[in-house]
Amino acid sequence: MRKVFILNNNTKDKVKYALMKNIKENLAGEDIIIEKTKASGHATYIAKKYALQEEPTHIFICGGDGTVHEVVNGLVGANHIKVSILPIGTGNDFIKSFDGLTKEDFLNLGNYKETEAMDIDLMKVNGEYAINTISIGFDVKVAEEVNHMSNQFKLTGIGAYYMGMLKTLIQLKCEKYDFQIDEEAQEGYYTIIALCNGRYYGGGYNPCPQAQLNDGIIDMCCISDVTRRGVLKLAKVYEKGEHGNYPNLATFFQGKTIHFNTKNKAVSVCLDGEIRQIKNPTIEIEQNVIHLLLPKK
């Protein structure tokens, strides 16, 4: 089976060099293709090219969560393609949902000589797929600031998230949301809403500790109205996934389809870190659509 490496070309040169050395040491003599992205969205185009060829292919996604998001959006329905992730981006939250595997385990190509297959779900909203999380409210505003911090000040990971959160606190507000989970209508005033396939986002926060990538269910966490001081106290609890111990603060739901009634007003929705403006978003789960090959140590 040919192996295709889709590489985010914004990756630092020393990381690219380490990847090429890794390939040479572990995959010498194999059918290798390296595809470098040229712009935002290009990884989806590359993935679609191989999805249409129908030749058995093992794609390695070389980048962060944004690159993973782009590639999987090009692979839905491509059952002949297997996917592995080499987390060399600034944000690598998706791989944290795999208990027992470290970042180093994913990066070592020697660990892919034998693999463990796992079919996983995706969440779909307005024709676009999210592999990890979808968020609405405070977190989206934080994500916008995180992108700004990353681009302007070269901050990454949890440091960028903290700085983005602090700046967003200045305009903190709780909003009323009307939504329906499968057949049940709900409403409430919330500061943060996170819908999860994976368990981690934002540099390591854990909104839905029970979320599973292959259970056919969307896990949803809603955080009620909190003060600015309360958000700062919440951060550590939220990072550890212990906010469920405060039922007056956190409410959890599960479902296969979640619809938000925004009264035809466009709201900011964050899909795996990518921000979109969407009216009345409906989030659905699609089962077993990405075919992962996980490393074996």
Per-residue pLDDT at 111 exceeds 90: yes
At 12-32, the pLDDT tens digits run 999 999 999 999 999 999 999
* pLDDT at position 92: 94
Average the pLDDT over 205-220 and give the result. Answer: 97
Burial of 13 from C-beta contacts in 10 A (0-12 / 13-18 / 19+):
exposed
At 261-290, the pLDDT tens digits run 999 999 999 999 899 999 999 999 999 999
Per-residue pLDDT at 52 exceeds 80: yes
Per-residue pLDDT at 69 exceeds 90: yes
Q: What is the mean pLDDT of the chain?
A: 91
* pLDDT at position 142: 76
At 147-183, the pLDDT tens digits run 776 666 666 666 666 676 666 665 667 889 999 999 9
Which 3 state secondary structure label does DSSP give 187? strand
* pLDDT at position 11: 92
Say how far apart CA 96 and CA 62 lie, in whole Å.
Answer: 16
Kindly indicate the confidence band of residue 75, based on its pLDDT and cuts at 50, 70 and 90: very high
Q: Give the Cβ contact number of residue 186 at 10 Å.
A: 15
Q: How far from 287 is each of 14, 35, 77, 107, CA to CA, in Å?
A: 37, 28, 11, 27
* pLDDT at position 157: 60
Average the pLDDT over 4-16 and give the result. Answer: 95
Closest to 290 measured CA to CA, from 127, 133, 123, 120 = 120
Say how far apart CA 7 and CA 130 lie, in whole Å.
Answer: 19
Is the backbone of residue 264 left (phi > 0), alpha (psi -120 to 50) or beta?
left
Which 3 state secondary structure label does DSSP give 221? strand
Determine what percent of the chain is predicted with pLDDT higher than 70.
Answer: 91
* pLDDT at position 165: 64
* pLDDT at position 95: 97
Burial of 42 from C-beta contacts in 10 A (0-12 / 13-18 / 19+):
middle
Per-residue pLDDT at 126 exceeds 60: yes
* pLDDT at position 55: 96
At 128-139, the pLDDT tens digits run 999 999 999 887
Q: Give the Cβ contact number of residue 122 at 10 Å.
A: 22
All domains of the chain, ordered by start, with CATH? 2-122+289-295 (3.40.50.10330), 133-287 (2.60.200.40)
Average the pLDDT over 235-252 and give the result. Answer: 92
Kindly indicate the confidence band of residue 230, based on its pLDDT and cuts at 50, 70 and 90: confident
Say how far apart CA 43 and CA 169 lie, in whole Å.
Answer: 34
Q: At what angle do helices 228-240 and 157-168 cross, to 10 degrees?
A: 150
Average the pLDDT over 241-263 and give the result. Answer: 95
Per-residue pLDDT at 256 exceeds 90: yes
